[in-house]
Structure 1
């Protein structure tokens, strides 16, 4: 991960200073309106910064003491996650007006020793302060404090009790995620990405789509989280955004890694990787497997959807309880998302529709979505983050 420079407040006093309405500087080197702005007759779309200014009052500004109390002094027993940004804690906050029951929340605390965190914190505040979709995690507020001890940067999200898609696919301490649940989760994630790519005035490229960033609420409804690497898409006559190459090894699109040219099709590649994780129950990179099976995309190439050997890649934890025809559709969709020619990959709305078809096909299959292989077996009885 390339390090980012910290934006420090040179005028801060020795007293604790809580900052409201944080401003994200140098987003895509835009300087507000410089990047990708066209001077042609059509009006330019507003930037994330401009849209954020309209909605910033919707976010609650917490004091550091409020969040310290909410987490029992950031008790390690309440830690529910950790990454390059810092640690995430489960907490409980009182309503802003003091009325009503306390609300469970997830509180992300910036690691003050990490150089990349401050810019990502600013990006998350602004992007999540603007977006509004049922498949995107909701940012409730933030804390930005500078005092004699240094700076404190925290984010407060809605709490997602069922952890992440990654946990349910790969953890052996949790029950295997059923076939229909997998399809519904990835379909919801696709809806969230489709909104980012084309549902707002400005296009947003997520840039960090992976199973660990798909969080699940109490009803297993998926919500995309962690917008620290998100970027505004190209505008005007530009075809891409040029950025430093950051992301997670195994998910980043090859053309982005090679050139630093970022487009919405970069997200499509990452989505294809997660589709294969859904099918196989395997990580994109797993050093604990035999050498030939460590890289998921290389391994699945040996078992294309049209071959008789296709079922060899299916997650054994599914116990053959899936629609084999729907699984093949998902595999073909994944292959199209992983097309080396980015322009030939499908769009997110197209992906949403194909996943909807796979869900309907699974429902029609046999009620319990068992594969033909399982049905024939039954009849016979009667007569399986490295940062760039």
Structure 2
């Protein structure tokens, strides 16, 4: 694994705008990086990233049944008591799921280490599945990369296949917060994949989800919402005014309610309990676990934090970095520190995608900070010959 520089495509911004990638700049900063790439060897991808990602996902899936049937575990994950059955029933019905993204620490010198599993509302999907592949094709055409250059990236094909597994006998609604450019762009991309798979699709803002006279979810045209992909976290869903209807209508949503146990940082200590010493796991504990005190270099994470909010980094037991935010009331976990790949551009986190239960691609984000946050940049990757 190493980082290279190369000339940016002269028209990449126009190409981004033309395909709806309007968040190539965010918060006044560049988000997409067109003049660099991370390089891997094929064996490195297959043995150090793809195979471990598949194994980690399989381990997570094996663990779900234990968690949903354990009241204490659900409580430790801060899932509201009145919705434990919503989560449990979702798993027992085998509600179909779609995708997720592992965040891995990997620098090419040892096993990839799981930092967290974004199993509910992962973003950086469009740029992984579509735009970085277009970048590869263009750079080959420009002569900057050799014709045999490849990527670990079948994410779009797997998404279309996964959507094809859902029945097409009803409208497939897609919901997100429409004034979030990134969330809307990601949702629109997924909706396009569903249409490619043969679905009728309709977008609506999460805030426009209604309830009809019979207690069913409905859209602005008063149509019953029978299936809805929502780029909106389950921890928010379970605290919305319409959450009560989940008791009878929990099967409507994708990702399903059981994904709430995998997208929670509390998954990390539960994995460590079940698979202690696994080479792709970091020692992780709930904050009130006595074993947490045995770590000297570690990261403290809220159970429900996003974009690095309220994450703190400790070296030799002393806090050296802390991110602000609005999380933490739900509780914390403590995870052993793992070094990230480091270059003059910053620190890189590898996002490994699971679609339809298969590891199928990677995307890389880098940040000047050791805590990857909302100012991180997306850098494409290649597999060199």
TM over 0.5, yes or no? no
Please indicate the TM-score interval, normalised by the length of the shorter structure: under 0.3
Alignment TM-score, normalising by the size of structure 2: 0.24
Task: From the two aligned structures, give the one with the greater helix fraction.
Answer: 1
Rg comparison, structure with higher value: 1
Alignment TM-score, normalising by the size of structure 1: 0.23
